[in-house]
Amino acid sequence: MLTGVIKPDEGTARIFGHDILSEGLKSRQLMGIVPEMANAYVDLSAWNNIMLTGELYGIPKKQRKMKAEKLLKEFGLHNRKGHTVKGFSRGMKQKLLLCMALINEPQILFLDEPTSGLDVESQRRIRDMIRDLNEKGTTVFLTTHNMEEANQLCDNIAIINHGKIATIDSPERLKSRSSGLQSIEVSFNKAVGVNELMKIQGVFEVRKQGDKARLYVDDPSTVIAELVEFAKARKAKIISLNTLAPSLEDVFLKLVREEEKGVPYGK
Amino acid sequence: MFLMASSLYGDQFKRSLAIVKKNIRIYYSKGPVIIFGLLIPFFLFLSFYIGRNLPAEALIPGLLGMTAFFTATSVGPAIVPWEARAKTLERLISSPISLWAIFLGDVLSSFLFGAFVSLFPIIAALLIGIEIVNLLVLALGVILATFCFASLSILLSSYPPTDTPAGVMMISSMVKFPLVFISGIFIPIEELPSWGKTLSSISPLTYFTDLARNSIQGRSYYPVELDLVVLLIFAIVFLVAAIKIHERTMPKRL
């Protein structure tokens, strides 16, 4: 919607002061966009795709050529610039889309699942590039289903459930607001039933994870002491014990469940 | 205020030219498209004229009319559905280019292709010694007619909003082929019955064929001025309708 592809039913939005409807051209002029579906022109070369984008943004010829050369070198595509995109791998296409999105030196960059389906090395390189751009002053608007990616890259996260923003906050504050999502991961030298662990005071959920159990608790220190007593009473030895902060995935799942039950988040 | 508006339109027109360049590179510069654009009208034309023992002057206006019509409408209808399917349309729409500028670019590329290929029958006519009585009128007619047909080709893809090029091409053929038969190409307008004459008057191709006959054979059914004005009106109506309908149907296409 912010990129002008879908018309809003109601409400207003501004990109650096420009209304997305009444000043659509001006607001889009300030954006760079990397859509989820790789949509460079596959019959054009990488160079011609970037040139076309530059022309659509009204960048003078000399400037767009210089910028395209620089971007292709930065993204390691310079030796393939004359090749049609048809023969590019997914990672190369994604890098080309980033080059196209950056040709106009955007003030705001929209990225839709930028690392989805990429190999680990390409994911890491693209994440580093995103961090680098953000450090240089570009606002990055990232849409992702990858919680760890959001955790690593974002200053603020909006969680959308059923098309509505459920909450917006920084990753750490989101986690800290999630009472009851702290957990202890424990394993014993002999089998211990989930039902037995549920009887420990302060534990309100137990999930079996392989040979370990994950206990969701409010106060980890009290439960650790209880666990030691629990092991002694059963003549069992604790092999490993870790306290875990809630992951963003835990926060997301809790939020979705609470929304479904009609409970406002964090209450 | 006027200067600001004209600079905005000028700037958007430049971006239309980027669309033209892109379309020529992707769709029109392919050998098969050019050959196909020439061959279809040529063979269709031959199949009707072989054995009729008509002078070359009588053949060239029809051949020129068919070539201009078929080439200017050959690829245009498929561009928008094709790009919707490839998700490149989404990229264009999220760029700082107005919808009218995108479609004007599509029309201009079809126009350039149609006008370029239309040169072939004109050159062939000159090579075999046919005298073109009014070259200037013919040139103006080719420009207006190919622009008009190019606008029609983009209009053909405006409704229904689909991302299936084959479906649009079928609709396009259903419109294009009947138009060829009612436009005075195979039977001159003056030889048509009165209902045929009325029917032929709704086809823009009629006026171009008539104008071409005037430029080559020196005689026509309508006055040349009327041919030019009607072609201009058709061109404007098709262009405006194509842009307006596409603007309206775009949300359903994406």
pLDDT tens digits, B182-213: 998 888 888 889 999 999 999 999 999 999 99
In degrees and rounded to multiples of 5, residue B183 shows phi and psi of: -105, 20
Structure ipTM: 0.90
Cβ distance of A4 and B93 shorter than 8 Å: yes
SS3 A118: coil
Compute the average pLDDT of residues B225-233. 97
Smallest CA–CA separation between B29 and chain A, in Å? 12
Cβ distance of A56 and B15 shorter than 8 Å: yes
Compute the average pLDDT of residues A215-220. 86
pLDDT reading at B13 higher than 90: yes
Q: What percent of chain B has pLDDT over 70?
A: 98
3-state secondary structure A159-220: EEECCEEEEEECHHHHHHCCCCCEEEEEEECCCCCHHHHHCCCCEEEEEEECCEEEEEECCH
Q: How far are the Cα atoms of A51, A69, A77, A149 from residue A96, in angstroms, in the given order?
A: 12, 12, 8, 21
pLDDT reading at A204 higher than 70: yes
Tokens for A80? 């393939």
Give the number of C-alpha atoms closer than 13 A to the C-alpha of residue B166, restricted to the C-beta side: 0
Instruction: Enumerate long-range contacts of A226-235, CB under 8 Å, 24 or more apart.
Output: A226/A200, A226/A201, A226/A202, A227/A184, A227/A186, A227/A200, A230/A196, A230/A197, A230/A200, A231/A188, A234/A190, A234/A192, A234/A196
Q: According to the model, what pLDDT value does residue B33 have?
A: 79
Q: How far apart are CA B102 and CA B158, in angstroms?
A: 13
- Interval A130-183: pLDDT, tens: 999 999 999 999 998 888 888 889 999 998 888 888 889 998 888 877 666 788
State the DSSP H helix or E strand holding residue B235, giving kind and residue range, or none if neither.
Answer: helix B224-253
Rg of the Cα atoms in chain A: 24
Q: Which residues contact B168 (CB under 8 A, 6 or more apart)?
A: B77, B78, B81, B156, B157, B162
Cβ distance of A25 and B22 shorter than 8 Å: no
- Interval B103-146: pLDDT, tens: 999 999 999 999 999 999 999 889 988 889 889 999 999 999 99
Compute the average pLDDT of residues B232-249. 96
Q: How far apart are CA A258 and CA A92, in angstroms?
A: 40
Contact in structure between A19 and A12 (CB atoms under 8 Å): yes
Q: Which residues of B touch A3 (CB under 8 A)?
A: 94
Instruction: Look up residue A14 and give its DSSP letter.
Output: E
Residue B61: asked if its preceding bond is cis (omega within 30°), the reply is no
Q: Among A257-261, B6-10, B156-160, which is the least confidently predicted range? A: A257-261
SS3 A157: strand
Mutate to test the interface with A, among B7, B8, B89, B91 (most CBs of A within 10 A): B91
Q: Least CB-CB distance to B96: which of A35, A39, A56?
A: A56
Q: Least CB-CB distance to A3: which of B15, B94, B251?
A: B94
Cβ distance of B15 and A52 shorter than 8 Å: no
pLDDT reading at A90 higher than 90: no
Contact in structure between A109 and A31 (CB atoms under 8 Å): yes
Q: Comparing B195 with A258, which gets the higher pLDDT?
A: B195
Q: How far apart are CA B172 and CA A205, in angstroms?
A: 64
Smallest CA–CA separation between A67 and chain B, in Å? 18
Q: What percent of chain A has pLDDT over 90?
A: 53
Q: According to the model, what pLDDT value does residue B213 have?
A: 92
Residue linked to tokens 């030796």: A79
Q: How far apart are CA B155 and CA B60, in angstroms?
A: 28
Compute the average pLDDT of residues A210-221. 88
User: Where residue A267 falls among pLDDT bands split at 50, 70, 90?
Assistant: very low
Q: Which amino acid is at A36?
A: E
Classify each residue of B78-102 as buried b or exposed e, where b means 16 or more C-beta atoms within 10 Å of its C-beta.
bbbbbbbebbbbbbbbbbbbbebbb
Q: Count CB pairs under 8 A between chains A and B.
A: 67
Rg of the Cα atoms in chain B: 19
Compute the average pLDDT of residues A115-121. 84
Cβ distance of B94 and A26 shorter than 8 Å: no
pLDDT reading at A260 higher than 80: no
pLDDT reading at A265 higher than 60: no
Q: How far apart are CA A123 and CA A53, in angstroms?
A: 24
Burial of B205 (0-12, 13-18, 19+ CB in 10 A): buried
Compute the average pLDDT of residues B153-166. 91
In chain A, the residue whose alpha carbon lies closest to the alpha carbon of B21 is A52
Torsion over CA of A220, A225, A227 and A230, rounded to 10 degrees?
-150
Q: According to the model, what pLDDT value does residue B8 have?
A: 86
Q: Comparing A52 with A234, which gets the higher pLDDT?
A: A52
Q: Beta partners for A215?
A: A184, A206
Q: Which residues of A touch B95 (CB under 8 A)?
A: 28, 53, 56-57
Q: Which residues of A touch B92 (CB under 8 A)?
A: 56
Contact in structure between B212 and B65 (CB atoms under 8 Å): yes
pTM above 0.90, yes or no: no
- Interval B88-99: pLDDT, tens: 999 999 999 999
Smallest CA–CA separation between B111 and chain A, in Å? 20
Q: How far apart are CA A130 and CA B4, in angstroms?
A: 36
Compute the average pLDDT of residues B14-19. 97
User: Where residue A128 falls among pLDDT bands split at 50, 70, 90?
Assistant: very high
Q: What percent of chain B has pLDDT over 90?
A: 63
Q: Least CB-CB distance to A41: which of B14, B26, B251?
A: B26
